[in-house]
Chains A and B, each alone.
Chain A
Amino acid sequence: MTAETISAPRHRPFRRPLFRRRSAIPGFGLTLGVTLTILSLIVLIPLSAVAIKASALSPSEFVAAAFSERAVAAYRLTFGAAFVAAVINGVFGVLTTWALVRYEFPGKAVVNALVDLPFALPTAVAGIALATLYAPNGWVGQYLTPLGIKAAYNPIGVTIALIFIGLPFVVRTLEPVMRDLSADVEEAAASLGAGRFDTILRVILPALGPAWLTGFALAFARGVGEYGSVIFIAGNMPYKSEIAPLLIIIQLEQFEYANAAAIALVMLAVSFLMLLIINAVQAWARRFS
């Protein structure tokens, strides 16, 4: 029976029965039960509280809370900065991944480990470090001030923090795909007379497209929700440099729980939309691989 369970699916045409023959491995009921219980208690039920709390508001109250002028300004900053940061990471992420996958250079192992720094470094630490660097008298800020650029306490500062946070998402999503790119295709392009530049532009970059989009979307999604690294450098001026997550905290501090939930619901909706897009891109990419 063991052998049959293993080899059976291979001989079958595409349709798999809803439930495969009961697996010989025990513990299914217990582990799935524990998984579903914990998932519901920790994630699903508490998350539903946002929608339930927000639904206590009448439609007009909801719009007033979630789409007030101040909230819309915050969304514009949050999504705009996250988008610009993801684009910049998209460009430098490709360069970084290309160098890490294709080239050998001294210190490569250190660079490779360093790329994950934003995953390992607490966001608040990144936040105060960036705020200090880009403040008008900071290491970097002092060179920007004469140029008339005010980086910290400005939307530029928000973008800088989100570049820090998003970089590894792009690199680590691109890396396996770039590693698996077959040299054959490049050789074929070259042997057909394509220059190196043409090969990169027309053969390599299109093949990286889906992974790049996924990395971009992951970086963007992370940036939209980011709080710790941003608030120190943002300056948090209403209508100007106030991000949406901060608005939730402000509402909470005023005990306006329903208003906080309304803003959170908008952010959750955007997150889920991003999640859907990421899944769709990956499903689409799988069709070509």
Chain B
Amino acid sequence: MAQSKARHPTEDPVWAKAVIIGLMLAFLGLVLILPLAAVFAEALRKGLGPALAAISNPDALAAVKLTLITAGIAVPFNAVFGLCAAWAIAKHEFPGKPLLITLIDLPFSVSPVVAGLIYVLVFGLQGWFGERLIDHDIKIIFAVPGIVLATIFVTFPFIARELIPLMQEQGVAEEEAAVSMGASGLYTFWRVTAPNVRWGLLYGVLLCNARAMGEFGAVSVVSGHIRGLTNTMPLHVEILYNEYDFVAAFAVAALLCLLAIVTLVLKGLLEIAQPDVKRGGGH
């Protein structure tokens, strides 16, 4: 539409573009890139050897294992919840829907520390079930179940809020067609709905997993910081850092950075391949 030389009226002059892009790069460089670079630089300060030694230390490996276990329980749990919630909300009509969606989103607006606190209040020594749990010798707080619960809480909305808008947008026509031709509910879900939402589900799982593996505040409250037992990777980073073992702390942190970078790359690829997944509406 525009003449080849003249600037289109809705396009910014070149100098303005240069200034805005320059400001953006300076800001992002300072706020995002510098911290990322600092992690790797500090980890490798004494060379690759000490960094690798810190990662292969038994306590570090135990932390990696616990982090994997925690995410391995929390993410599938939230995926099942997200699918149930999205099926009920997107494929059916009932009163109170907006309220239900708000309540599912609630954990996003609760401080991670409060997320940990609530489970201490319920399952801790002075908590509602504290004494009964001691009688049956069940440990939840300062043990793995508490860590898993706190992680489920902070990652609770990730997958649901990815799937709900996606399934709402897709409507009910295909499912109704399948059901009217005699397909069972489960069959309809597997053959009609699941293929339509699998990329959105994967997107939600990706974000949920990153948060589950990286959660610090909530887990810190319920963990008790017992080395080799209730230490997740982020908690292990904290302990090493507070002991002034900076190379080791940053080495484990670098591992978590790699997780973040892999997450971002996969997320970016998914957004390019399946632009629909981004409809989920932020985080």
CB neighbors of B among A64-80 (8 A): none
A237 contacts B by Cβ under 8 Å? no
Assess A271 versus B111: contact at CB under 8 Å? Given A2-B180, A124-B234: yes
Tell whether, in the assembled complex, residue A261 and residue B175 are in contact, meaning their CB atoms are under 8 Å apart. no
Tell whether, in the assembled complex, residue A119 and residue B28 are in contact, meaning their CB atoms are under 8 Å apart. no
Partner among A25, A53, A122, A232 whose Cβ is within 8 Å of the Cβ of B260: A122
Assess A18 versus B95: contact at CB under 8 Å? Given A24-B179, A122-B213: yes
Of the listed stretches B48-56, B83-91, B194-202, name the one at the interface; the rest are far from the partner chain: B83-91
Q: In the complex, how many angstroms separate the beta carbon of B258 from the nearest chain A beta carbon?
A: 11
Bound Cα distance A34, B82 (Å): 10
Bound Cα distance A227, B117 (Å): 13
Tell whether, in the assembled complex, residue B121 and residue A117 are in contact, meaning their CB atoms are under 8 Å apart. no
Bound Cα distance A24, B249 (Å): 56
Closest-by-CB residue of B relative to A121 is B260
The count of chain A contact residues (Cβ–Cβ below 8 Å) is 104
Partner among A24, A132, A249 whose Cβ is within 8 Å of the Cβ of B221: A249
Tell whether, in the assembled complex, residue B216 and residue A123 are in contact, meaning their CB atoms are under 8 Å apart. yes
Tell whether, in the assembled complex, residue A125 and residue B217 are in contact, meaning their CB atoms are under 8 Å apart. no
A129 contacts B by Cβ under 8 Å? yes
Tell whether, in the assembled complex, residue B172 and residue A25 are in contact, meaning their CB atoms are under 8 Å apart. yes
Q: In the complex, how many angstroms separate the beta carbon of B86 from the nearest chain A beta carbon?
A: 8
By a CB distance below 8 angstroms, the chain B residues around A255 are 126
CB neighbors of B among A149-184 (8 A): 163-164, 167-169, 172-173, 183
Tell whether, in the assembled complex, residue A123 and residue B283 are in contact, meaning their CB atoms are under 8 Å apart. no
CB neighbors of B among A101-127 (8 A): 102-103, 105, 109, 111-127
Tell whether, in the assembled complex, residue A92 and residue B93 are in contact, meaning their CB atoms are under 8 Å apart. no
Tell whether, in the assembled complex, residue A32 and residue B109 are in contact, meaning their CB atoms are under 8 Å apart. no
Tell whether, in the assembled complex, residue B117 and residue A169 are in contact, meaning their CB atoms are under 8 Å apart. no
Tell whether, in the assembled complex, residue A6 and residue B172 are in contact, meaning their CB atoms are under 8 Å apart. yes
Which of B152, B215, B216, B235: most chain A CB closer than 10 A?
B216
Interface string of B93-114 (1 = CB under 8 A from A): 1110000101111110111111
A201 contacts B by Cβ under 8 Å? no
A207 contacts B by Cβ under 8 Å? no
Tell whether, in the assembled complex, residue A275 and residue B102 are in contact, meaning their CB atoms are under 8 Å apart. yes
Bound Cα distance A117, B25 (Å): 15
Bound Cα distance A181, B23 (Å): 23
The count of chain B contact residues (Cβ–Cβ below 8 Å) is 106
Partner among B23, B87, B173 whose Cβ is within 8 Å of the Cβ of A92: B23
Tell whether, in the assembled complex, residue B85 and residue A164 are in contact, meaning their CB atoms are under 8 Å apart. no
Tell whether, in the assembled complex, residue A46 and residue B234 are in contact, meaning their CB atoms are under 8 Å apart. no
Tell whether, in the assembled complex, residue B216 and residue A122 are in contact, meaning their CB atoms are under 8 Å apart. yes
Tell whether, in the assembled complex, residue B153 and residue A46 are in contact, meaning their CB atoms are under 8 Å apart. yes
Bound Cα distance A30, B234 (Å): 37
Bound Cα distance A272, B256 (Å): 32
A205 contacts B by Cβ under 8 Å? no
Tell whether, in the assembled complex, residue B121 and residue A261 are in contact, meaning their CB atoms are under 8 Å apart. yes
Tell whether, in the assembled complex, residue B10 and residue A92 are in contact, meaning their CB atoms are under 8 Å apart. no
Q: In the complex, how many angstroms separate the beta carbon of B220 from the nearest chain A beta carbon?
A: 8
Bound Cα distance A63, B165 (Å): 42
Partner among A113, A169, A190 whose Cβ is within 8 Å of the Cβ of B265: A113
By a CB distance below 8 angstroms, the chain B residues around A81 are none
A248 contacts B by Cβ under 8 Å? yes
Assess A23 versus B172: contact at CB under 8 Å? Given A43-B107, A268-B110: yes
By a CB distance below 8 angstroms, the chain A residues around B149 are 42
A31 contacts B by Cβ under 8 Å? yes
CB neighbors of B among A201-255 (8 A): 218, 221, 224-228, 232, 245-246, 248-249, 252, 255
Closest-by-CB residue of A relative to B110 is A271
Tell whether, in the assembled complex, residue B257 and residue A43 are in contact, meaning their CB atoms are under 8 Å apart. no
Partner among B10, B207, B210, B237 whose Cβ is within 8 Å of the Cβ of A128: B237
Assess A95 versus B27: contact at CB under 8 Å? Given A124-B234, A257-B120: yes
Tell whether, in the assembled complex, residue A25 and residue B176 are in contact, meaning their CB atoms are under 8 Å apart. yes
Closest-by-CB residue of A relative to B254 is A125
Interface, chain A (partner B; CB < 8 A): 1-2, 5-6, 16, 18-20, 23-28, 30-32, 34-36, 38-39, 42-47, 49-50, 53, 92, 95-96, 98-99, 102-103, 105, 109, 111-130, 132-133, 138-140, 163-164, 167-169, 172-173, 183, 186-187, 190-191, 196, 199, 218, 221, 224-228, 232, 245-246, 248-249, 252, 255, 257, 260-261, 264, 267-268, 271-272, 274-275, 279
Pairs A–B under 8 Å by Cβ, sample size 24: A6-B173, A25-B179, A25-B188, A26-B185, A30-B84, A35-B89, A46-B118, A46-B119, A50-B114, A99-B24, A115-B28, A117-B32, A117-B36, A119-B283, A121-B214, A121-B257, A196-B16, A225-B114, A228-B112, A228-B234, A245-B112, A264-B114, A268-B110, A272-B109
Chain A to chain B: the 9 pairs with minimum beta-carbon distance, closest first: A122-B214, A225-B111, A190-B9, A228-B216, A227-B217, A26-B185, A129-B35, A245-B113, A120-B260
5 additional contacts, CB 8 Å, given A228-B217, A257-B120? Answer: A43-B106, A99-B20, A196-B12, A232-B238, A271-B109
